[in-house]
Structure 1
Amino acid sequence: MNIDTPTDAFRHIQTAHCENGVTTALLRHQGLEFMTEPLAFGMGSGLFYIQIPFLTINNGPAISFRTMPGAIFKRTCKSLGVEVTRKKFSNAAAAEAFLDYKVKEGVPVGCQVGVFHLTYFPKEYRFHFNAHNLIVYGQDEDRYLISDPVMEDVTTLTRPELTRVRFAQGPLAPKGHIYYPEKVKPITDEMIRKGIVSGIRRNVRDMLRIPGNFAGVNGIRHTSGNIRKWRDKLGLKKASLYLGQIVRMQEEIGTGGGGFRFLYGAFLEEAAAYMQDDRIANISEDFTKAGDMWRASAIKMAGVYKGRLTEQKDFNEIADMLLDIRLVEKEAFQKLSGLNLGK
């Protein structure tokens, strides 16, 4: 089989982020052609920030710029009244058997996998990160047909290769997690508008009103405070590695960062069209600004990681940049909260 183009039953879609792409492609496969990556991300309230306490990934701080893995798919489908099936497994044999059953039925399915052993990823992008998502949409003899939304073209994995990444070990271990939509009913513009409103309200809550110091805009301030102390507390070498970890989580591993702020801005532009409300489109500019600021902070952090910047003042400047980002995002979500959408 020539896999350069998928079968007629499934269309590969390249997107900026894996779970958004899987959600978009699976819903379009079910006939929901209106679905876009920004719309899936926004209805799923994907924008977030958290520095998870007492957890490290790749010997660095566990930081995410997006919501928990699986939440975007679950929330987007729920907001549209789409029933879903989600399963995890205690052993690989059961996971393989269920996957084979769905493949034979001709049902494309999403799978959560680990990145480190994905053979089609360039080596420099293989990290111990277990919240990547891809679609299995068919089988050709002993190879599964794979649509990975962050790749330009479709690809394949052997049975052992797919099983290995589906049962990767470590934080966020996927445990054979498989999911797909079913029982899709006709979707009206009114349902889309309600999904947009619920997505925005949830995101406002998550970024402004979660108690504590680790999540939302307060989480950004918490990380800023940590960065200010790392050089003296950890030493320059380890502190630099920690900043490198933030850059990796922000720009390379799929937890979002600046790119997700641009994506949320695109969602608000689409939302403004559905809601016929220019105020929403105006706020999208704030998230574009936040995205630019996150990218600038990543460049500064990379300078420390590569040894070009070594002074405490450099750490202080990065910490101040995060405080400025926090203020932009806080004010943007306060603006969204004040719109009283849907009322």
Structure 2
Amino acid sequence: MTTAIDIDVGGTQHCETTALGVLLRHQGLDLSEPMLFGLGSGLSFIYWDSKNMGFPFLGGRVKPFDLTRNLATSLKLDLLAQETASPRKAWENVVAPIDAGHPVGLQLDSYYLDYFGSKVHFGGHFVAMYGYDDHDAYLVDTDQQGGAVSTSLANLAQARAARGPMSAKHRSFTLTAPRNPPHPQSQIIPAITACADAFLNPPIANLGHRGIDKAGKLVRTWLQRTDNPQRDLPQAALLMEKAGTGGALFRNLYRDFLAECTELLDSSHLRTGHELYSEAATLWTATATLIAKAGESGDAQCLVQAGTILSDLSRIEHEAMQALNRLEE
């Protein structure tokens, strides 16, 4: 027997905003993917490397689920999030809302999902689940992964139970909009300034504009950092451009969010931020291209160039966030 909710899939690029879009459209709130990302103060930067990692990781967004929490606070949504160590309880937490007609967001490890092309462990992946039968779960994932898809219940259970970096214990969540939600436009400035403040004042040197500057210095050593540069450098570049980031390490999404905001609010600071993030997005794509080329050719000069661009990006994004931080003035 099949239980499924009628949902609007919508075409999107990034996993967490894809899941959020499904849940919110079901509540009658239809916002663009860039607007969801921006209102969730989703943009960030992290240079992550440690002894147990095969290769450094460049991240362009806040931690998994922080975007959802931020968005719920911004739009006064009732966020019910549940975690458990019990697979049985985890399944009950999903079935109950779906049986009641509400899609559910899930955080899981994409490695185990039947339809996933690239078999890489990533515990910070999100999907929306809208139905199930005796064998399969019906999910919505990004356009890149097929949009409306399905996976076996056994593999879904494995994906939800997985442990490791960025994973959560069978996390599931629902969102409920209040009767009179605040107009999204009224939440734009607080969301932008919160994002800018975190970016400008990182607690450690690996984050925000300081992290980009650090990446600019360390990326020059990447050919020595791995015994398989032909695999690891193109993979790092692919993650920046194609792995659900919307391109340019989430800078395309944030640029488009700021563009949407300039149509709603008249602010020279906002226009400055948008112009600088348009420039930054282009430079991030150029950086990814150089990193991939360095891995394929073994040419260290490509990494020197990438390092120079990253040092420019640190300055450009710092300037952009300073302008955006002045929106409340």
TM-score, normalised to structure 1, is: 0.87
1:246 aligns with 2:233: no
Aligned to 2:203: 211
1:49 aligns with 2:53: no
Q: 1:319 aligns with which of 296, 307, 316?
A: 307
> How far 1:196 moved relative to its partner?
1.0
Deviations 1:201-221 (A, max 9, x none): 111112111133110010011
Indicate the percent of aligned positions where both proteins have the same amino acid: 26
Of 108-117 and 193-202, more deviation after overlay is shown by 193-202
Q: 2:112 aligns with which of 107, 117, 120?
A: 117
Q: How do 1:41-120 residues align onto structure 2 when only pairs under 5 Å count?
A: 41-54=37-50, 57=53, 59-120=54-115
1:195 aligns with 2:200: no
8 Å contact kept, 2:60–2:249:
no
Runs of 4+ in 1 over 6 A off after TM superposition: none
1:165 aligns with 2:155: no
Aligned length: 328
Aligned to 1:277: 267
1:267 aligns with 2:257: yes
Q: Secondary structure at the match of 1:49?
A: strand
Equivalents in 1 of 2:39, 2:177: separation in Å? 19
Q: Cα gap change, 1:134/1:107 in structure 2, threshold over 3 Å: closer, same or farther?
A: same
> How far 1:146 moved relative to its partner?
1.0
Letter in 2 for 1:262: N
Equivalents in 2 of 1:221, 1:259: separation in Å? 15
Q: Cα gap change, 1:32/1:55 in structure 2, threshold over 3 Å: closer, same or farther?
A: farther
1:148 aligns with 2:144: no
8 Å contact kept, 1:12–1:149:
no
Q: Cα gap change, 1:240/1:218 in structure 2, threshold over 3 Å: closer, same or farther?
A: farther
8 Å contact kept, 1:55–1:61:
no
> How far 1:238 moved relative to its partner?
4.8
8 Å contact kept, 1:114–1:174:
no
Aligned to 1:330: 318
Aligned to 2:122: 129
Gaps of 5+ in 2: none
Q: Secondary structure at the match of 2:56?
A: strand
Aligned to 2:294: 304
Letter in 1 for 2:16: E
Aligned to 1:176: 170
Deviations 1:273-294 (A, max 9, x none): 3323365244312212111111
Q: Cα gap change, 1:336/1:56 in structure 2, threshold over 3 Å: closer, same or farther?
A: farther
8 Å contact kept, 2:2–2:132:
no
Q: 1:29 aligns with which of 10, 26, 41?
A: 26
> How far 1:63 moved relative to its partner?
2.5
Equivalents in 1 of 2:127, 2:133: separation in Å? 17
> How far 1:127 moved relative to its partner?
1.1
Letter in 1 for 2:307: A
Of 202-211 and 241-250, more deviation after overlay is shown by 241-250
TM-score, normalised to structure 2, is: 0.91
